[in-house]
A and B are shown apart, each in its own frame.
Chain A
């Protein structure tokens, strides 16, 4: 087990009874979970190889309760780990033994839908898919679409700045949020932004989105909703050489075409997904692209003609244009089941680095070399339009030595991404998983600027401790406020 957890603080553990009593006074009824058996459900997230049993779990139902909980914990110096659905892949919502888990899942109401302004105000615990579900009848949707959208909450999306396959056109969470209701660690309720496109002062929404529960607890979110396109249709390409696929992507973008999605799968991923989903993927190619376009039938047709033409110029071996809703569903089912299908073949860790897309052949070659060097296998699934890679490094969980090797391979892959001009994480976040790699990407001074903001908004560092920043990250004293 490579990732260290700080030792729980004895003085905090000693307060357990007092903490429970205080939380029960704030959240009546079933909202405070103390039994070990029930707390177990909160000891990990989707980074399941790490787990810690939290001291207590509280599930508030109102912003005021959240404020009271934070005010109490802040005064007592008790760590608080905010939690949505616990689908974080980087251990972002794994607690410590001395922490209160504050779950927002019960706060899941839709507060307002405004079609004229194309906005919607929701509570933080609503799932990503439920937001779109609420407005689908009118032809609207909420754009960022992480593959976990059935389960993950908007709070988690905001904290992780989550994205999905369609981000190439619609942007990530940060580009689709207009307002937040934030509870500060001191228990103050702050309204930031709202129905207007711009909000005054510093861009606190921009700062809070992606801050991984480090700066406050979000209880309400105003999202932009968009009108669905008239139709969407994917085309699937198979290439005998990786470089041909890469060049096709470059040329499509160079021709001024921005599809809604460009997904890449390597040979290993194609085989794994085909065996599971029977999507009709070609098995004798090295690389596959799924490119989706949107619009009216005529628009899609016009766009696909251009795209297919470009692919042919790069000797595409297989071209499958979807002709029906069923074919479209099959093409996407294979891709969307990549994680699940891989899980049936082997245990794996899902990495999440990004690279400049021009370095695609280099990074794939490098990943192959790294993983083979550890005697392991890898399947690569990846958002080719924006350079976000998901290498799935496979190992056997019953072999602890192999698990350590897989973790090392994953770290080496992320180092390579940074060396190639990319970054450690494109959508899954840093959490505990990549915390100790932060120095690969940032200097001490870079980190210090970040920790200074952390200290300014959470002076005791009780919000989601031991995440994002290396445990020995540089810290200034609490900055005094400008005169």
Chain B
């Protein structure tokens, strides 16, 4: 296994060009915290972004930060925190889920479009990504977007590449739009709701003018009672007002308890990181559906006896199931499809991941466009071949 560690975009481009000319597929690694996620990549060589590191631009008053792709995410979040700012999409720290110890990188987060609970009103990583520099599978150094928030000049390759898992290009620099860190936060909590009741309550909160930035539900499991959670953030006066208004709105669903800043922050870090599944050996599915379909989805999954966690007002369902056989793949994909969504197997033993559809299979014409995308960025299939789909 060869390991390439380029230290400049030019070196990176040269590595990819050479791999292309010799027909050697490359695995693309950031911090390598993925711990064997997704479809296993068969590659003779790995390209690491380790030496492409450092913040290249930070203008707090313009709400932008750019960093080289191998920059540990921590460096970025710390620089932002020092100025009272944050990445709006609250990237998950999945080391807890996978029990790994590497450093998540900026490039890894961008290429996996990692997004946390605030997704419901502040968007995913892709919504905050405004500029990208990358080397495509032809070994060409390309840029798209820039450092301004509004930019409609030409095709938006930044979004097209967000969430492409290193199968289209190797990023070497990413520019993000950022937001001020909220001055305070609070969580309204209810206990004992069923999944349909919880989703109804979360929908009511999200359909209110009080702008919740988190809406999650942990169904009853083992000895634990169910908890339904709504987060609000902001300056002191709005927080007090919104706590009051939301409590009234939610009263018909049950008693509402208020958690103050510290307790609230810890709770949402757990939700963000899917901590409920940390330290277990369950296979973990991440299922994206329209929120109102979540209760029916939960019913369909019941035979697998899953441990469930609902985020995004019910739009994101995490399901932990026994990691045996196909880890429920057949049932999970069918249930996700019936609910109008799709599922990704985010943690399972390699034997399982090699044998089942890790990502929901795309419909025929959609798959054809995916292949055309792959062909226009990486015609020879050099980068992370097979990571997302066979042949892509």
Question: What is A's interface to B at a CB cutoff of 8 Å?
Answer: 114-119, 139-140, 160-161, 163, 167, 171-172, 174-175, 184, 188-192, 194-207, 209-211, 214-215, 227-230, 250-251, 253-258, 295-296, 298-299, 302-303, 354-358, 383, 386-388, 421-430, 434, 438, 441-443, 445-450, 452-457, 468-469, 479-483
The reply to whether A203 and B126 form a contact with Cβ atoms under 8 Å apart is yes
Taking a contact as CB atoms under 8 Å apart, the answer to whether B127 and A422 are in contact is no
B180 touches A445 (CB 8 A): no
Instruction: Give bound CA distance, A203 to B203, whole Å.
Output: 26
Cross-chain contact A230 with B180 (CB below 8 angstroms):
no
Q: Hey, which chain A residues are within 8 Å of B124, CB to CB? A: 197-198
Q: Is B3 on the interface with A (CB-CB < 8 A)?
A: no
Query: CA of A196 to CA of B344 in the docked complex: distance in angstroms?
Result: 14
Taking a contact as CB atoms under 8 Å apart, the answer to whether A358 and B59 are in contact is: yes
> Once the chains are docked, how many angstroms separate the CA of A481 from the CA of B374?
8
Binding stretch for chain A, among B29-37, B268-276, B284-292 = B284-292
Additional A-B contacts beyond A253-B62, A357-B61, A445-B142 (19; CB < 8 A): A116-B291, A197-B316, A198-B288, A201-B359, A203-B159, A203-B160, A203-B162, A206-B126, A206-B159, A230-B209, A253-B61, A255-B180, A295-B209, A299-B237, A430-B153, A434-B153, A480-B375, A482-B371, A482-B391
Of the candidates A205, A356, A447, A481, the one whose C-beta lies within 8 Å of that of B375 is A481
Contacts of A423 in B (CB 8 A): 146, 148, 151, 153
Our pick among B238, B315, B369 for the contact of A302 (Cβ within 8 Å) is B238
Contact B168 A190 (CB under 8 A): no
**Interface check B293, CB cutoff 8 A:** yes
Residue among A388, A434, A453 having the largest count of chain B Cβ atoms under 10 Å: A453
**Stretch of B187-195, B298-306, B377-385 with 4 or more beta carbons under 8 angstroms from chain A:** B377-385
B179 contacts across to A, CB distance below 8 A: 258
Known contacts: A211-B155, A256-B181, A295-B238. The answer to whether A202 contacts B164 by CB under 8 A is yes
Measured as residues with beta carbon below 8 angstroms from the partner, the interface class of chain B is 35 or more
Measured in the bound complex, the distance between the Cα atoms of B288 and A180 in whole Å is 17
Q: Which residues of chain B are near A163, meaning CB under 8 Å?
A: 150
Hey, which chain B residues are within 8 Å of A457, CB to CB? 369, 372
Bound Cα distance A192, B342 (Å) = 12
Tell me which of B38-46, B256-264, B323-331, B360-368 binds A. B360-368
The minimal Cβ–Cβ distance linking B362 to chain A, given in whole angstroms, is 5
Q: Determine whether the beta carbon of B140 is less than 8 Å from that of A445.
A: yes
Q: Is B53 an interface residue (CB 8 A)?
A: no
Closest chain B CB from A289 CB (angstroms)? 15
Inter-chain CA distance A195–B312, complex, in Å, is: 13
* Cα separation A452 to B60 with both chains bound (whole Å): 36
| Contact in complex: A428, B152 (CB < 8 Å) | yes
Assembled-state Cα–Cα distance A203/B162 (Å): 7
Find chain B residues with CB under 8 A from A196 CB: 288-290, 315, 340-342
Residues of B that sit less than 8 Å from A by CB = 59-64, 84, 113, 115, 119-120, 123-124, 126-127, 136, 140-144, 146-164, 168, 179-183, 200, 203, 206-209, 235, 237-238, 241, 245, 288-293, 312, 315-316, 340-342, 344, 359-360, 362-363, 365-379, 381, 388-389, 391-392
CA distance A174 to B113 in the complex (A): 15
Complex CA distance for A446 and B293, rounded to whole angstroms: 42
In the complex, the chain A residue whose C-beta lies closest to that of B134 is: A449
CB-based contact A228/B152 at 8 Å: no
Partner of B156, one of A206, A355, A383, A442: A206
In contact, B160 and A229 (Cβ under 8 angstroms)? no
CB of B146 within 8 A of CB of A482, answer no
Given contacts A426-B150, A453-B376, contact A202 B370 (CB under 8 A): yes
Task: Given A175-B123, A299-B237, check contact A195 B290 (CB 8 Å).
Answer: yes
Q: Are A117 and B156 in contact (CB under 8 A)?
A: no
A190 touches B147 (CB 8 A): no
Contact of A197 among B119, B160, B245, B344 (CB under 8 A): B119
Write the nearest CB–CB distance from A326 to chain B, whole angstroms: 22
Partner among A256, A383, A424, A446 whose Cβ is within 8 Å of the Cβ of B183: A256
The interface residues of chain A lying within 8 Å CB-to-CB of B360 are 200
CA distance A254 to B373 in the complex (A): 40
A162 closest partner in B (C-beta): B152
Contact check, B146 vs A422: say whether CB atoms are below 8 A apart: yes
Tell whether, in the assembled complex, residue B156 and residue A161 are in contact, meaning their CB atoms are under 8 Å apart: yes
CB distance from A480 to the nearest CB of B (A): 6
Taking a contact as CB atoms closer than 8 A, the residue among A200, A206, A298 that contacts B241 in the complex is: A298
Alpha-carbon gap, A483 to B103, bound state (A): 34
Chain A residues within an 8 Å CB radius of B241: 296, 298-299
Q: What B residues does A298 contact at CB under 8 A?
A: 237-238, 241
| Chain B residues within 8 Å of A357, by CB | 61-62
Q: Is the CB of B61 within 8 A of A426?
A: no
Contact of A195 with B341 in the complex, beta carbons under 8 Å = yes
